[in-house]
Amino acid sequence: MPGSILVLVLVVVGIVFAALVVVLRPASVLGPPLFLIMAESTITITPDDPRVPAAFGPHCTPYRWLERRGALAADTDQDLAGVEGLLLQHFAVPATGFQWDGGDAVRAILLTTGMGWNLTSPVDGRVLATLARDGTNLTIGPTTYAPGTIWSLRFEYDVSTLRGFAHVVEDIIFQNRGVVPTHLTPPAACA
């Protein structure tokens, strides 16, 4: 009888300890601060051709902007070593005109130390603009944008399709968020 009481006490203590670990475990930990550019994009193709492939980001994006916290959330499985900046681009994708997997329509373009930083077309991968970081400023072409600045750019180009050429128009509204804190969070369940 005394042995079974001891086992019961140890089981109860173990359950309580496990529950405390789960309850008190932080939902996120701080990651490295990153230079962040947000982009809202509208893209169209003329004529509509739903067979034109486009890469609007992965099905489950590992990056999210936390507006209330003023921080970037990144899944803990993302390797941010050597990453100093991120362009987080959200697409308002039309219902027709592109073949895509129907994912989140959010893609991240990373600035890695010692590498170039290019905004590319989601349709054919061409470089639309070269981005240059200078502290908390972003330069595109001859223009520099300070933190808090909002601006827009339009890119137009032709792509080859099975039916010939189609004309793509991308209107992008950018915002320089400057350097923001990063919260590393466990990957969310993704359907």
Q: What is the pLDDT of residues 101-131, one digit of tens each?
A: 777 889 999 998 888 899 999 999 999 999 9
Of the candidates 97, 108, 110, the residue with the CA atom closest to the CA atom of residue 169: 97
Q: Structure pTM?
A: 0.80
Show me where the domains of the chain are located: 28-185
Percent of the chain with pLDDT over 90: 55
List, for residues 152-179, the tens digit of each pLDDT value: 999 999 998 888 899 999 999 999 999 9
3-state secondary structure of 11: helix
In the predicted model, is pLDDT for residue 10 greater than 70? no
Please report which confidence band the pLDDT of residue 40 belongs to, taking 50, 70 and 90 as the band edges.
Answer: very high
Give dist(CA 64, CA 84) in Å, integer: 16
Of the candidates 115, 146, 185, the residue with the CA atom closest to the CA atom of residue 37: 146
Please report which confidence band the pLDDT of residue 18 belongs to, taking 50, 70 and 90 as the band edges.
Answer: low
pLDDT of residue 7: 63
Q: Sign of the C-alpha dihedral, residues 72, 76, 82, 86?
A: negative
**Beta pairing, strands 164-185 & 29-46:** antiparallel
pLDDT of residue 129: 96
Of the candidates 48, 116, 110, 23, the residue with the CA atom closest to the CA atom of residue 74: 110
